Amino acid sequence: MPLECVMILVDNSSYARNGDAIPSRFQAQLDAASSVINYKTNDNMETCVGLMSIAGPGGQIYATPTNESSAIYSQFNKIQIQGYAHFARSLQIAQLALKHRVNKNQHERLIVFIASEIRDTPEDLFVVARNLRRNGVALDIVNICNDQNLRVLEQMIEIVNVDDNSHLVNYQGGLTLLSDVLKTSGIFGRTGGAEDLGFQEEMDPELEMVLRISLEEEKKRQEEIDRQNKPQTAPQANQGMQIEQEANIKDEETEHLLSQAQNVINQSEGQPKPQNEFINDKEFIKEILKDLKIDPKNQEKKDDKDKKE
């Protein structure tokens, strides 16, 4: 492993909150950065690593290049998610930090995590890439869940790359940890060129099972919340209307039967009796309702309800 001076650039923009990477785009970067720091410092004791962010007011350096990994880890909790990423400007600031390294025998390298859409123009990126190549600075880019960045990033790597010293990793999220993806990439010296990495079959089976269960539980929880918040469906509303219509039809049939019974009684006595008298005759009404199998108490309750309405 060559002697290097490395600056790790973390994307702390608002897009880093997205959960399409495990556990989030931001936390995935920090976990992957830890793996890179361990790999670089353990492989060569004289290799130095620095840390900076690329969002907010501008690129902010949290740790100048050092071979003490604990000094870098202590800065992780100071990085706050804010604003938009300043990709090109941050690369320029990081290049200046590398230029002022103590050991001039160290090869310069930038490792950039980008978790948001790049807002810089292709012309600006071309100028940055050309300067990196001219100064012999290697460039590794980790694109996180942003396929729209691929074209300009591939062009940058093509410009900077000399003897396969620069790499592009396109991480698409999913169940695979970003740190595991980098371990099989050119950043760890495994392969070269651009890589499109997502789910890996060689992933730890136990970890895969835990992640799958967690995702399934979260999916079921969201479905249950959606089901509870869903308004009353049309079939249920139609069912209520149908019950009300049937009740009205039944009331009309009852009134019709009462009227028929009244006519039959009037004809049998030969003398028509005023209908109001029969209506006021409670015993007669009870007999009629009994023959029709209608509970008088329920009918009285319904009549009282109708009067109130």
> String of b and e for 208-230 (b: at least 16 CB within 10 Å)?
eeebeeeeeeeeeeeeeeeeeee
Collect all residues with Cβ–Cβ distance below 8 Å to 22 and sequence separation of at least 6.
Answer: 28, 173, 175, 177, 178, 211
Does residue 157 have a pLDDT over 60? yes
| DSSP tag of 55 | B
Residue 107 in this model has a pLDDT that exceeds 70: yes
Q: What is the mean pLDDT of the chain?
A: 80
Summarised one tens digit per residue, pLDDT across range 27-65 is 999 999 999 999 999 988 999 999 999 998 778 999 999
In the predicted structure, residue 201 carries a pLDDT above the cut 50: no
Residue 143 has pLDDT above 80, yes or no: yes
pLDDT in tens, 237-295: 555 566 656 556 555 655 665 566 556 555 545 544 444 555 556 666 666 666 655 55
Q: What is the DSSP string of the chain?
A: ---EEEEEEE--SGGGG-SSSSS-HHHHHHHHHHHHHHHHHHH-TT-EEEEEE-BTTS-EEEEEEES-HHHHHTTGGG----S-B-HHHHHHHHHHHHHT-S-TTSEEEEEEEE-S---S-HHHHHHHHHHHHHTT-EEEEEEES-GGGHHHHHHHHHHH-SSS--EEEEE--TTS-HHHHHHTSGGGTS--S-EEE---TTS-HHHHHHHHHHHHHHHHHHHHHHHHHSPPPHHHHHHHHHHHHHHHHHHHHHHHHHHHHHHHHHHHHSS---HHHHHH-HHHHHHHHHHTT--HHHHHHHHHHHHH-
Closest CA relative to residue 156, chosen from 134, 115, 185, 127: 127
Q: Is the pTM of this model over 0.85?
A: no
- Position 272 scores a pLDDT of 47
Domain ranges of the chain: 4-210, 234-308
The arrangement of secondary structure in 4-210, i.e. its CATH architecture, is 3-Layer(aba) Sandwich (3.40)
208 and 175 in contact (C-beta within 8 Å)?
yes
Name the CA radius of gyration of the chain, rounded. 39
Model confidence at 169: pLDDT above 80: yes
Q: CA 105 → CA 3, 145, 148, 164, 245, distances in Å?
A: 7, 36, 37, 20, 91
| Choice between 272 and 147, residue whose per-residue pLDDT is larger | 147
C-alpha 85/C-alpha 256 separation (Å) is 80
**Residue-level pLDDT at 209:** 61
